[in-house]
Amino acid sequence: MRDSSKVLINPILSEKASNMKPQNKYVFKVAVDANKIEIKNAVETYHKVKVDKVNVVNAKPKYKRVRSNYGYTRMWKKAIVTLIEGEIDFYKV
């Protein structure tokens, strides 16, 4: 099993992710090769909360152009984590 710091890259603090907080759901950017079990264990050990379920979304690369260069953005993965009990405070110092 991998270290939780390698699985969880950073939390996503967008408006849509903030609207899920009353439903006890939190959104994280995770490693592309991480699975649901690794994500669940990483959130439970790192934030000391109980996880109910994990939903995973693969964000596909988008076609972009910068001046004369054409290419694609990187593929990344996000996880929507539903908690049973506890709360995560991302703004805590």
* CATH number where 28 lies: 3.30.70.330
Of 37, 52, 45, 36, nearest to 84 by C-alpha is: 52
Answer yes or no: are the C-beta atoms of 11 and 90 closer than 8 Å.
yes
What pTM value is reported for the model? 0.86
Residue 92 confidence (pLDDT): 64
In a domain, 93, yes or no: no
Report how far residue 34's alpha carbon sits from residue 43's, in angstroms, rounded to the nearest whole number. Answer: 12
Name the domain count of the chain.
1
Residue 86 confidence (pLDDT): 75
Residue 70: strand, helix, or coil: strand
User: Cα angle at 37 between 33 and 50, to 5 degrees?
Assistant: 130
In a domain, 92, yes or no: no
Residue 93 confidence (pLDDT): 41
The per-residue pLDDT for range 39-93, each reduced to its tens digit, is 999 999 999 899 999 999 999 999 999 999 999 999 999 999 999 977 887 766 4
In a domain, 54, yes or no: yes
Q: Which domain holds residue 38?
A: 4-85
In a domain, 90, yes or no: no
Report how far residue 9's alpha carbon sits from residue 7's, in angstroms, rounded to the nearest whole number. Answer: 6
